[in-house]
Amino acid sequence: MTLFDWLIVIIPVLFVMGMGFYSRKYVKSVADFLVAGRLCGRYVISVGDVANALAIIGLVAYVEAQYKTGFALSFWNGFAMPLSIVIALTGYCTYRFRETKAMSLGQFLEMRYNRPLRIFAATLRSLSEMLANMIMPAVAARFFIYFFDLPESIGLFGCQLPTFMLLVVLVLAMAITLICCGGTLTLVITDAIQGMFCYPLLAVMIVFVLCKFSWSTEIVPVMMDRVPGESFLDPFDVGELRDFNVFMLIVTFTTMIVHHASWIGAGITSAAKSPHEQKMAGMLGTWRNMLGLIFYLLIAVAVIVVLNHGNFSGEAREIRTRLSTRIADGLVEDGALRARLVANLRDIPEQKHVVGRDAPLSDRSNLDTVYLDTAHRTLLENENGNAVFQQFRTLYYQLMLPVAMRELLPPVILGLFALLMVLAMLSTDDTRIYSASLTITQDVVVPLCGKPLKPEQHIRVIRLVSVGVGVFFFCGSYFMSQLDYINLFVTLMTSIWLGGCAPVMIFGLYSRFGTTAGAFTSLIAGMVMAAGGVLIQRNWADTVYPFLDANDLAVAVGNALETLSGPFNPWIVWKMDAVKCPVNSYEFYFLTMIVTVVLYCAVSYLTCKEPFNLDRMLHRGKYAIDGTKKYKLHWSLREFFANVIGITPEYTRGDRVIAWSLFGYSFVYSFCLAFLGVLLWNLFSPWPLEWWGHYFFVVQLAVPLVLAAVTTVWFGVGGVRDLFRLFRDLESRTSVNDLDNGVVEGHISLADKVELEAVDQGGPEK
């Protein structure tokens, strides 16, 4: 990194932090801190989400997966496209949640159920969220250590401090500073500014990769160079690549439906001017994501090509040697063993793999194999060699990205990529910390207080809780810095909440029969089943199976499992195994969702004494105290398609153009032509492998690039306009409502209590 590269990073970041401090002057109430005064337009939310959608851990995970699978598996994502379109166009869950005016998940739960459930569910969710996300600063810190080639420790005041720890502190300090400035209002403003920075940065990186690598002579040949069954291009030739079947698709579709509202409730989900603006912001998200998806795709392509094409064999050897020796330096404690390992890795010669002449690569035999085998053989000289090698291999694939990009990018471009990663880190970390802080404060601390907090006290509590969550994240990042069990860890932690929250949220928004007893039953059952399922899988080989075998139960349980799974074979196959649990994580997850939905409905049916007043919670009908008009759909033949995609009379002409354009691109082009048409064609007349290279160029690159060019200008102009409008509206407010603070009494928000009770008592309808 040159001085100019560092200036490219530092100056924009300082500007973002400065705007965070500037936003403090507009925080005049709890509602400003929690939901930005509900004054945000659709574009300021959408542009801000550009930065939120980018995350270092997300990019690392994406590159790691693409390095193993290529393009082929992404074709099958087309099955989920119609469902995602319906969700976006109808505003499924998000529209109704915004209608409740709830500032947090718990406020909605108390309005719909009661206060004990609010506290229990919020505690469950915040604990799950914090445990799952606390390692994100560690991932970012390790990324920057390898990308900037920083030393393992830095001398400070005569002491040698771990660089990793210092970076984690810096990452968390920046995020918490923005949160404490103005909560949601600050995050909306700074995320929008970061989003505006991200658009040109993404464009520069995309242009660089396209100019650096030839699609026809470098990218496609590398993708074609795979053994049968592990194709990176042909989606019909991936049988040996990884498990992929109809049941996995069913689980994916089910999750999209039942868990769409499971993480809802952060400040931005209620920050729009109206439910319609919130819905339009979500709809625009489909266009917003295009540039980011192309960026992720091309960064993965760049890493794959530079490490596997013969034209870059010299760079590939430098990347692999630097990566593997750096991991060895930080991982192996025995000095003599570490020296032997580093020497052995450096002795590996350059590999000149020629596509078409040499044997095609595979998951078991590829250009990384010699480095991993060398590390494994050397580490086995120690008694815990297998465990250390497992960490080595995980770090090798997860830190391949920063080392490769450092070698690949020239000056200036290197600084721009570093800036993009810093912005992605900042926008992600502050959002995750604030989400947990908001849930804890609004849904645990405030309800437990004996008396309502004054606005300044309320905001102070949120800030203090945010600092506490930051300390929690620091401890988690420091002690969970090794990455070998991240997937298992995250799955276990998120399942604490996701196990049983789906029916609580969905039926809470859409049904009148759901009860508090049903909600408690679902949450507790889901928590126990989900955590129990993961623990069974984790301890199957060393605890569960030995117990069954010792008590002569293995055969009987195996026969029962085979009988139960028989009707679903080959999609579900439960066969007793001494090493691997017969029921995989998808199957445990699906069973948990089914059981919790059944329990919620059954218990609610048995305990429901009278229907819940859903109209009052959603401010509909006579309870529309804000003057917003509610429209009923008329299912005439003429209006059928408009109703299906969610168009109502409140849509302006521009809104209709956006909705129909999204429907045309997503459903007609992407699903019907680019997916369904191609699928049917290949079922009757399979394409040659070269055709798939052309297909992915057109569908995943060329067409999205054209649309991204349009939306970059469109969203940039709209974002600047909405950001200035937000400042103007904040400045022109004449009054604030101190009762609008998330407190609920008698299933009604305190801010609406007087007006809604007057309607119930026969007052004038609004």
- Of the candidate ranges 87-91, 354-358, 471-475, 678-682, the one whose mean pLDDT is the lowest: 87-91
Residue 505 confidence (pLDDT) above 90: yes
- How many whole angstroms separate alpha carbon 61 and alpha carbon 664? 31
Residue-level pLDDT at 644: 59
pLDDT of amino acid 483 = 42
Angle at CA 648, nearest 5°, toward 646 and 651?
105
Distance in angstroms (rounded) separating the CA atoms of residues 25 and 37 = 13
Domain extents in the chain: 500-612
Of 112-126, 202-216, 641-655, give the lowest mean pLDDT range. 641-655
Name the more confident of 558 and 268. Answer: 558
Segment (H or E) for 238: none
Tell me the residue length of the chain. Answer: 766
* pLDDT tens per residue, range 404-432: 999 999 999 999 999 999 988 888 888 88
Highest mean pLDDT (candidates 60-69, 107-116, 180-189, 518-527): 518-527
Q: Quote the CA–CA distance of 719 and 47 in Å, as a whole number.
A: 6
Q: Can you give the pLDDT at residue 244?
A: 47
Q: Using the predicted structure, report yes or no on whether residue 381 has a pLDDT greater than 80.
A: yes
Q: What are phi and psi of 601, to 5 degrees?
A: -65, -40
Question: Which one has a higher pLDDT value, 495 or 684?
Answer: 684
Q: What is the mean pLDDT of the chain?
A: 83
Q: What is the mean pLDDT of residues 369-389?
A: 85
> What is the share, in percent, of the chain residues with pLDDT greater than 90?
21
Query: Looking at the predicted structure, is the pLDDT value of residue 84 above 80?
Result: no
- In this structure, what token pair is assigned to residue 757? 């009770």
Q: Which of 258-262, 605-609, 627-631, 657-661 has the highest mean predicted lDDT (pLDDT)?
A: 605-609
**pLDDT tens, 479-495?**
764 444 455 567 667 88
**Which of 55-64, 169-178, 206-215, 580-589 is the least confident region?**
580-589
| Confidence bin at 766 (pLDDT 50/70/90) | very low
Cα–Cα distance, 64 to 397 (Å, whole number): 6
Q: Which two tokens stand for residue 61?
A: 């995970």
Question: What is the identity of the amino acid at 654?
Answer: G
Please determine, for residue 436, whether its predicted confidence score (pLDDT) is greater than 80.
yes
Whether 489 and 139 have beta carbons less than 8 Å apart is answered as: no
Residue-level pLDDT at 670: 85
In this predicted model, what pLDDT tens digit does every residue of 28-43 receive, in sequence order?
888 888 888 788 888 8
Q: Tell me which residue has tokens 């008592």.
A: 761
Q: Which two tokens stand for residue 226?
A: 């795979």
Q: What is the pLDDT of residue 714?
A: 83
Does residue 765 have a pLDDT over 50?
no
Residue 195 pLDDT > 50, yes or no? yes
Distance from C-alpha of 583 to C-alpha of 596, rounded to nearest angstrom: 18
* 203 or 740, greater pLDDT: 203
More confident residue, 71 or 287: 71
In the predicted model, what is the mean pLDDT of residues 343-354?
Answer: 90
- Please state, in angstroms and rounded to a whole number, the distance separating the CA atoms of residues 664 and 667: 6
β-partners of residue 160 are 155
Q: Residue 623: what residue type?
A: Y
DSSP labels, 6-47: HHHHHHHHHHHHHHHHHGGGG--SHHHHHHGGG-B-HHHHHH
Q: Please choose, from the candidates 653, 651, 665, the residue with its C-alpha nearest in 3D space to the C-alpha of residue 704.
A: 665
Yes or no: say if 742 and 108 are a contact pair by the CB < 8 Å rule: no
Which of left, alpha, beta for 159 (phi over 0: left; psi -120 to 50: alpha)?
A: beta
Mean predicted confidence (pLDDT) in 225-251? 73
Interatomic CA distance for residues 369 and 375, integer angstroms: 10
Residue 646 has what DSSP assignment? T
Q: What pLDDT does 597 receive?
A: 93
Closest to 231 measured CA to CA, from 696, 704, 703: 696
State the pLDDT at residue 518. Answer: 95
- The amino acid sitting at 365 is S
CA–CA gap between residue 431 and residue 184 (Å, rounded): 9
Six token digits for residue 560: 């029962």
Per-position b or e across 12-33, b if 16+ CB within 10 A of its CB: bbeebbebbeebeebbbbbbbb
- What CA–CA distance (Å, rounded) separates 708 from 202? 10
pLDDT at 738 over 50: yes
| DSSP letters for 674-702 | IIIIHHHHHHHSPPPHHHHHHHHHIIIII
Best CA proximity match to 499, nearest among 253, 259, 266, 261: 259
- pLDDT for 446: 83
Residue 586 CA to residue 422 CA, distance in Å, equals: 34
Name the burial class of residue 323, with classes exposed (0-12), middle (13-18) and buried (19+) by CB atoms within 10 angstroms of its CB. buried
The region of weakest confidence among 160-169, 259-268, 757-766 is 757-766
Listed in sequence order, the DSSP H helices in 91-162 are 94-100, 105-112, 115-133, 136-147
Mean pLDDT of 272-284: 78
Beta partners for residue 159, in sequence order: 156
pLDDT at 286: 67
* 185 contacts 268 by C-beta, under 8 angstroms: no
**Could you tell me if residue 163 is left (phi over 0), alpha (psi between -120 and 50 degrees) or otherwise beta?**
alpha
Biggest CA pair distance of the chain: 86
What pLDDT is attached to residue 266? 60
